[in-house]
Structures are given as C-alpha cells and as structure tokens.
Amino acid sequence: MTKFKTAIALGVLAIPALALAHPTDVPFESRGECETAMARANHDDGAIKVANGEFDNFGDSNRWMHASFHCERIGDVWFIVREG
C-alpha cells in the first residue's frame, strides 16, 4: 500500500508541472494574447523551477525564460516559440 500511495503522490505532483509548460502548440489571434500567455507561463514555470532549485530566485528564472521563449507570427496567427 505504501508504494501505491507514493506513486499517487508523485503523479499528483507531476500533473501541475505538465499543465504549466509553455503552450508552444497553441495559436493566438494577436501578439498581445501570445505575450500574455507567455508571461503567465514564464511566471508559473519560473515558480516551479525556483521551487525545484533549478534557479536561486525569480529574477534568474525570468532572465532565462525571456532568453528562451518569444512570440512569433506564423501565417495569420501567433505562437510561443522556443529559442534554439
């Protein structure tokens, strides 16, 4: 029973992390909508990365997020695009 409870706990912790990833496959009608979604994802993903010890603070996390993601127009819609 203990292994089962541990598996459930780990699964519950993993679900929010997956849900908060940058939505790179979602089209946005305007650059403003894309930038808003990216800012929200930067904040949420940054909080997870700071909590996990990947970054010491939100400033470091935010710098990395801004260097790693941007909004780009592809056709008639905007997408969050990962650099590199």
pTM of the model: 0.70
33-58 CB burial, b ≥16 within 10 A, e <16? ebeebbeebbebbbeebbeeeebeee
Tens of pLDDT, residue by residue over 28-69, are 999 999 999 999 999 999 999 999 999 999 999 999 999 999
Q: Which two tokens stand for residue 25?
A: 């496959």
Domain boundaries, the chain: 2-82
Looking at residues 4-13, what average pLDDT do you find?
46
